[in-house]
Amino acid sequence: MDKFDLVVIGSGPAGFSAAMRAIDYGKHVCIIEAKHIGGAGIMNGALTSKTLWELSSDYAIASLVNRGYRASGLSVDYNQVKKTVIQAAKDKQYQILSQIETFSKEKNRKGSVTLVYGFAQFINRNSVEVETEDEKQIIYGEHFVIATGSRPRSYPGLPVDGKQIVDSETILNLKKFPERMIIIGSGIIGCEFATIFSNFKQTKVHLLDRTERVIPFEDNDLSDFVSNSLENNDVTIHYEARLNTIRKKENYLEVVLDYDDGHSKVIEVDVALIAIGRVPNTENLNLEKIGFEPDKRGVLGMNDFCEINDVGKCNIYASGDITGHGQLYNVAQLQGRYIADTMFGIVENAITYENMSTLMFFKPEVAAVGKNEKQLRAIKKSYKVGYYSNELVSRQIAMRNTKGFVKIIISDDGNDRILGMRAAGPQASAFIVSVAHLIGEKQGLKQVYKTVHPHPGVTEGLEECLRLFTESSVFKPEAFPKLIKYYKWKPDIGE
C-alpha cells in the first residue's frame, strides 16, 4: 500500500511548490503528473513563450539600423528557434527532476518525494486511483492538493489541428515561420504572440480585437500604448471585429471577419492562432466521489485558506489556475506554499491577492500590480494619479529606448496609500517588487520617500512619478505637459 502525508495532483508551480514546502516539514509526498513535469507553465506556457519573446526581442534589436551599427546577413530559422525554446524548457524540467531524485524515498531523508506519471481520479477523501501506461494503482493520502492547472480555451467550431489552426500548446508544432498569421484574441496571450512573431519580421500578423481596444481590462492609456506599439511593429489590428468563419483551402486559410458597423472583410492567412484564454482542468477527477463539483467555469470553489468548500475540517485543497484567482505563476506558487504551511505549520492570516503582480511581454514589456483606474471607479473610490514618461529618464535615454511610462495610483483619503502601478518600457519588471511590497504592507508616501534610487537607473522614473504627489519632482508638469501628468478622481466630481 502506498500511503503519503500529502498527495499532489499536478506538478506545475502550485503543486511542485506545495510538495517542496511539505518537504521542509519532513513529510512524505507523492506528486502525480499526467503529462509534462513542471506542468504547462514550463513546456506549453510561461517559460516557452517567454523564451520565444526573449529570442524575438534579441532579433528585433539586432535588426535595427538607427543606432550606428548594422548586422549583415541576419537570418532566422524557426526550427532552430524551436530547439532553443525546447532546450530552455528541458533545463527547468531536469532541475525539477534532479530535486525530486535528491529527495527520493531511497535516500532515507526526513522527508521524501515520489513521482508517479498518470491520470488520477478520486475514490474517496483519502485515496485516488492512478492510471499509468502499464497499470492502475491506488495511492492513499492524509492530505490532497488539486493543482491540475489549465489549458487553452477552444473556439467553438474551430478545432485545433496543430498545423494550420494552433493554440499556445501547439504553436511549436509549426515547421517554419508562417508568412501570414491571424491571432484570435487580443488579451495578454494574443498580444504577446503578436509581439513575438512581428519581432521576428518573418510573418505578417493580424490581430482580431473583439472590442475597441486590446487588453480591455486595463486603463485606456495602457491599452492605447500597447495598440500603438503593436501597430508600430507592423501588426494589423482589426478592432470591433469578430470571426465569422475560417475556410480551409489547399495551401492557405480564408478568414471572414464581421465588423460591428455591419461590413465584412475576407483575408488570406497561412496559420490561425487561437488565444481566447484558458479553462481549468477539473474534469475527469471524479470530484463527485468527494462530494464536490466545480462551478460552470470549471473553477473549484475554496475558502480563504484554499480548502475546497466543505463542512467541517477539510483535507483537500485547491491551488493554481483552477481556483479562479488569476492564472499567474506567482499566485499558484504562493498558494501551494501557503497550503503546506496550513497543513503542517501555523498560519494566522488568509492570503491577500491585492498585491499580485503581472508582467506582460510586449514591445516593450509592461508591468502591473494592484488596482487600476477602471477598478477603482467601479467601486467609487477616490484616488490620485501620477504619470511620468520614460522620455525624461536618463537611463532610458542612454538605452535609446524611451517608449513607455510609469503610472502610480494612490488613495485620496488623507492616508496616501499606494493602490496600484502600471509601468511600460525596458526592464519594467524592475519596478514591481518594491511597489507590490508597499501595497501589501499598506504603506503610503512617507515610507517611499526614504528610498534613494541609483543613477542612471530605470527606476528613476518611478522615483520622479512618486514625487509628483508632493509637487517636488525635478522635472515639472508645466514644462512637459504631455510627458508628466498629475490628476485626481472623485465619484461625485470626476477627473
pLDDT value at 462 more than 80 = yes
Q: Within this chain, do residues 130 and 15 fall inside the same structural domain, yes or no?
A: yes
Instruction: Please state the domain count of the chain.
Output: 3
Which one, of 69, 375, 48, lies nearest residue 189 by Cα? 48
> From CA 19, how far away is CA 479, in angstroms rounded?
55
Q: What is the pLDDT of residue 295?
A: 86
Domain span including residue 454: 364-489
Residue 2 has pLDDT above 80, yes or no: no
Say what the pLDDT of residue 43 is: 84
Same domain, 143 and 175: no
How far is 377 from 6, CA to CA, in rounded Å?
43
The C-alpha atoms of residue 255 and residue 265 are separated, in whole angstroms, by 8
Percentage of the chain modeled with pLDDT above 70: 99
Same domain, 143 and 283: yes
445 confidence band (pLDDT: 50, 70, 90): confident
Q: What is the pLDDT of residue 368?
A: 95
| Each residue's pLDDT tens digit, 216-275 | 999 999 999 999 999 999 999 999 999 999 999 989 999 999 999 999 999 999 999 999
Residue 350 lies in a domain: no
Per-residue pLDDT, 439: 86
Same domain, 289 and 143: yes
On average, the pLDDT of the chain sits at 92
Within this chain, do residues 369 and 467 fall inside the same structural domain, yes or no?
A: yes
What does the block give as the cell for 127? 485515496
Q: What is the 3-state secondary structure (H, E, C) of 203-256?
A: CEEEEEECCCCCCCCCCHHHHHHHHHHHHHCCCEEEECEEEEEEEECCCCEEEE
Is the predicted pLDDT of residue 456 greater than 50, yes or no?
yes
Shared domain check, 289 and 145: yes
Which of helix, strand or coil describes residue 426? coil
pLDDT of residue 110: 84
Ranges 191-200, 290-299, 301-310, most confident: 191-200
Q: Is the dihedral of CA 326, 370, 383, 213 positive or negative?
A: negative
Same domain, 138 and 232: no
- Residue 313: band (very low, low, confident or very high) from pLDDT cuts 50, 70, 90: low
In a domain? residue 359? no
Task: Please state the rounded mean pLDDT for residues 413-439.
Answer: 90
Report if residue 158 sits inside a domain: no
Per-residue pLDDT, 460: 92
Q: Which pLDDT score is estimated for 375?
A: 96
Contact assessment for residue 402 and residue 421, using Cβ atoms and an 8 Å cutoff: no
Query: Is 380 contained in some domain?
Result: yes
495 is a domain residue: no
- Mark whether 241 and 285 lie in a shared domain: no
pLDDT at 312 over 60: no
pLDDT at 346 over 90: no
User: Euclidean distance between the first and final Cα of the chain, in Å?
Assistant: 66
Q: Write down the residue that cell numbers 524551436 correspond to.
A: 82
Co-location of 321 and 370 in the same domain: no
311 and 272 inside one domain: no
pLDDT value for 310 = 58
User: What sign results for the dihedral spanned by CA atoms 38, 43, 44, 47?
Assistant: positive
269 shares a domain with 373: no
- Asked if residue 134 and residue 44 are part of one domain, the reply reads yes
Provide DSSP, 306-369. Answer: SBBS-SS---EEE-GGGGSS-S-HHHHHHHHHHHHHHHHS---S----TT-EEEE-SSS-EEEE
Task: Report percent pLDDT > 90 for the chain.
Answer: 76
Task: Report whether pLDDT(311) > 50.
Answer: no
Is the per-residue pLDDT at 494 higher than 60? yes
pLDDT tens column, 111-122: 999 999 999 999
pLDDT band for position 477 (cuts 50, 70, 90): very high
Q: Is the peptide bond before 481 cis (omega within 30 degrees of 0)?
A: no
pLDDT, greater one: 240 or 73: 240
Q: With respect to residue 412, please indicate whether it lies within any of the assigned structural domains.
A: yes
Residue 352 forms part of a structural domain: no
d(CA 416, CA 125): 48
Neighbour count for residue 119 (Cβ, 10 Å): 18
pLDDT band at 381 (very low <50, low <70, confident <90, very high): very high
- Please provide residue 351's backbone torsions phi and psi, each rounded to the nearest 5 degrees: -65, 140
CATH number of residue 427's parent domain: 3.30.390.30
Burial of 399 (0-12, 13-18, 19+ CB in 10 A): middle
Does the structure show a pLDDT above 80 at 84?
yes
Which of 102-106, 142-146, 298-302 has the least mean pLDDT? Answer: 298-302
Could you say which of 261, 276, 291 is where a domain stops?
A: 276
Is 41's pLDDT higher than 90?
no
- What CATH number did the domain enclosing 24 receive? 3.50.50.60
Contact 190, 281 (CB under 8 A): no
Q: State mean pLDDT over 323-345.
A: 90
Instruction: Indicate the pLDDT class of residue 309, thresholds 50, 70 and 90.
Output: low
With respect to residue 30, please indicate whether it lies within any of the assigned structural domains.
yes
pLDDT for the residue 32: 97
Q: Is a pLDDT exceeding 70 seen at residue 1?
A: no
Q: Regarding predicted confidence, which is higher, 109 or 339?
A: 339
